[in-house]
Amino acid sequence: MTDLVVSVAVLAAAVLLSEAIRSAAARFSPGPYWIYLLEAASTFQLCCCTHELKLLGETAQVALAVSLTLTYTMTVIHLLTFRGAMCNPGGALESVCRGSSSVRTAAAVIASQFAAAVAAQYFAASVWTLGLSDLHIRHQRFEFKCFDPIGGTVLEAAAVELGCAFTVQAAAMHVHKVDEKLRVHFFAAVITALVYAGASISGAVFNPVLAFSVQFPCSGHTYLEYCFVYWLGPLLGVASCILLFEKVIPFLSGKTSNGLDVSTAQKQKTQ
């Protein structure tokens, strides 16, 4: 129980620290640096909390119900505090493809995300070094090493990451159909279910920058294999979801992504 209490305190500290950074960064809003500071602070929060949750779940032998409750609760907190930050390179790349962001801006956003992911590694190690709980002390004895996060084959893990990213993207594209008050809880429920379903095979991270912070330092596979599973898998999942719901399904139903008949849209292009 002491391990659980300490870990919850660490989660709270990470959220409060990140929120303080976001509040300070708000002074720059709507300046050009606001978005980068927001992404950095929110990605830092996401990675720090995931480091602690992963350690708690893998080492402390917490009951499944408690682990899933923490995952759901932290997901709700993330969604309520991120203030629109993507915390995922896939979102930045999607904004470029949709023309809502420049390549330069997206590159700076992704760079800030990865910088925050590295900072989260150092923050987690610094907290564990304090030895606040037996869990942290045991982890320190192993020099904070983590072991193979992939429970299946590389292809199986990549397929799980692809499927999880596809599902989350589909939820994001259709969340407007859910009552506004329930959207955060809907997202949290989807993510928690995916973590429960895929954690034993790949860890169910489905976020390249989060995987870089939490999974890449682990032994068991090569860097390229981790890139294949945790970078290519999620990016293909997002891309295939957008392609399916915005191109394939409208084409098969005779509608464009704007809701026009295909024939009508073609006539408009020729005018």
Q: What is the pTM of this model?
A: 0.91
Alpha helices in 132-232 (DSSP H): 134-141, 154-174, 183-198, 208-214, 223-227
Residues 6+ apart with CB under 8 A from 183: 175
Beta carbons of 229 and 157 less than 8 angstroms apart: yes
Which candidate, 109, 113, 94, 107, places its Cα nearest to that of 234?
A: 94
Q: What is the pLDDT along the chain (271 residues), one digit of tens a residue?
A: 689 999 999 999 999 999 999 998 888 777 678 899 999 999 999 999 999 999 998 887 788 899 999 999 999 999 999 998 999 999 999 999 888 889 999 999 999 999 999 999 999 999 999 999 999 999 999 889 888 999 999 999 999 999 999 999 999 999 999 999 999 999 999 999 999 999 999 999 999 999 999 999 999 899 999 999 999 999 999 999 999 999 999 888 876 555 555 455 445 444 4
Beta carbons of 150 and 227 less than 8 angstroms apart: no
CA–CA distance, 34 with 209 (Å, rounded to integer):
20
Phi and psi, residue 261, nearest 5°: -65, 145
CA–CA distance, 91 with 36 (Å, rounded to integer):
14
Residue 257: half-sphere exposure toward Cβ, Cα within 13 Å: 9
Element housing 68 (H / E): helix 64-81
CA–CA distance, 265 with 271 (Å, rounded to integer):
10
